[in-house]
Amino acid sequence: MEKTLDKIVNLCKNRGIIFAGSEIYGGMGNTWDYGPVGVEIKNNIKRAWWKRFVQENDNTFGIDAAILMNPRVWEASGHVSSFSDPLIDCKACKKRLRADNVVEDYAKKHNIDVVADLMTNEQMQDFISEHKVKCPYCGNSDFTSIRQFGLMFETSRGVTDENQNKIYLRPETAQGEFVNFLNVQRTTRAKVPFGIAQIGKAFRNEITPGNFTFRTIEFEQMEHQLFCKASDGAKFYELYKQKARQFLLDLGINPEHLRYHDHDKLAHYALSACDIEYLYPMGWKELNGIHNRSDFDLSQHQKFSGKSMMYTDQITNESYIPNVVENSIGADRLALAILCEAYDEEELADGETRTVLHLHPAISAYKVAVLPLQKSLSEKANEVLASLKKYFMCAYDEAGSIGKRYRRQDEIGTPFCVTIDFDTLEDDTVTIRMRDSMEQIRIKISDLVDYINKAIVF
Ligand code: ATP
């Protein structure tokens, strides 16, 4: 079975997982809306991440910071001066491209050993001219010169035109953790090392959004910042590389579809940086970033805000600005990886093929679907449904043959189907059918909640 991105996109569109944004107006350049099934899947992914990196993580505290921040934050972080990508236009077809991608793609195809990240704009320009690199869209080799393109979305704050101030939509959630370092430390009395985490929207005016939800201009990030002593930075960096990978494996991702990619080019303040890449249908791509960021973030905020970011160790009396180890992953990119991983087309014994999402039950939108064998059983079925709804998201379906109804649930990854039949009226038992093995067992209605609860723990 070939697993293509098109198949995933179609399933998402047809089964209420992800729709094109503003679709009735012809869409809006790579924005996507999560449908009734997709919103549950994404919320479950965020819950699983929060459980792993906040609830179960030692000394970690969650926050939910504002998207709009004082613009000085983005001066301190360096985004105003340097959050940009090298842009190049094809003069023939007018497509806008990222020059580093153009160079990398050409080099990969022709086995040339260059790393675009390490090149200046002049060097990339020379490379493109020297090799007569062609536009991937129209095949011409006629480009503009390379210039830097700012990735932050700007808007303005103020009630009158004269009184407008430029502000930004945050391009990352991390600064929310940094500017709340003192607040969290003071109110929790946390001792270093401790972590601050948040999940929230981020916005980037990407030059080349695409590959479905992989690269969008609006997305959600799940970020954990660990504040530690400089001498512990390397240790925690290694630990979070492990933890981040383990989280992905526990969600059911095949280890052969994950790899570490250490960065060749480091930001001037970064001590080390690594991506965990996932083998998407379109190739290996970054899914999760882990960075050892030195004391750059808090030092910059100390400098720009004038507030001391020093931490004093009560036992040793040492005072220092903590280092940061960051673990950052996009909720949408992870949802896409999980959908790609879970997607399968299985040949059945009767010669039919079923499409199934082998999602971890903790991630599935609905934990159980209630299916009356006949319409006349719907009263009993609704009774069972009402009792289960108190505990989980449930689906209900009484239309079509039971086989068709199973297939519909398989396609959205519902781990259990409960069938109400005439015996149910006599003895309060039901048939429960497993999505992956398609095995069916008879179980008491009163045991259903416990049975399902055991299977959906993450
Ligand atoms: P890329 O190199 O793919 O642009 P990045 O290195 O700029 O990513 P980070 O700034 O480290 O990404 O952001 C952390 C995480 O946020 C990424 O690992 C990714 O999962 C997610 N992310 C970043 N940009 C986007 C985007 N445009 N759309 C969806 N998710 C994104």
Q: What is the per-residue pLDDT across 126-162, written as a single tens digit (0 to 9) for each?
A: 999 999 999 999 999 999 999 999 999 999 988 776 6
> What is the average per-residue pLDDT within 18-44?
96
What's residue 265's pLDDT?
80
CB 59 within 8 A of CB 382: no
What's residue 117's pLDDT?
83
- How many CB atoms sit inside 10 A of residue 102's CB? 23
Average pLDDT, whole number, for the chain? Answer: 96
Lowest pLDDT segment from 48-62, 262-276, 333-347: 262-276
Q: Is 332 in the pocket of ligand 1 (CB under 6 A)?
A: yes
Pocket probe for ligand 1: among 100, 215, 265, the residue whose CB has the most ligand atoms within 8 Å is 215
358: nearest Cα among 304, 396, 412: 412
What's residue 162's pLDDT?
65
In this prediction, residue 165 has a pLDDT band, given cuts at 50, 70 and 90, of confident
What is the percent of the chain where pLDDT is above 90?
Answer: 93
Q: Report the separation in Å between the CA atom of 330 and the middle of ligand 1, taken as the mean of its atom positions.
A: 7
Q: Report the separation in Å between the CA atom of 150 and the middle of ligand 1, taken as the mean of its atom positions.
A: 15
In this prediction, residue 417 has a pLDDT band, given cuts at 50, 70 and 90, of very high
**CA separation for the pair 127, 148 (Å, rounded):** 17
Between 1.20.1250.20, 3.40.50.300, 3.40.50.800, 3.40.190.10, what CATH number should domain 366-455 receive?
3.40.50.800
> What is the average per-residue pLDDT within 9-18?
98
| pLDDT above 70: residue 386 | yes
What's residue 202's pLDDT?
98
Between 3.30.40.230, 3.40.50.970, 1.10.15.40, 3.40.50.2000, what CATH number should domain 84-150 receive?
3.30.40.230
pTM: 0.94
- Does domain 5-71+153-340 correspond to CATH entry 3.30.930.10? yes
Q: Report the separation in Å between the CA atom of 214 and the middle of ligand 1, taken as the mean of its atom positions.
A: 9
What's residue 29's pLDDT?
85
Q: What are the sequence ranges of the domains in the chain?
A: 5-71+153-340, 84-150, 366-455
Pocket probe for ligand 1: among 258, 286, 325, 329, the residue whose CB has the most ligand atoms within 8 Å is 286
Q: Whose CA is nearest to atom 23 of ligand 1?
A: 330
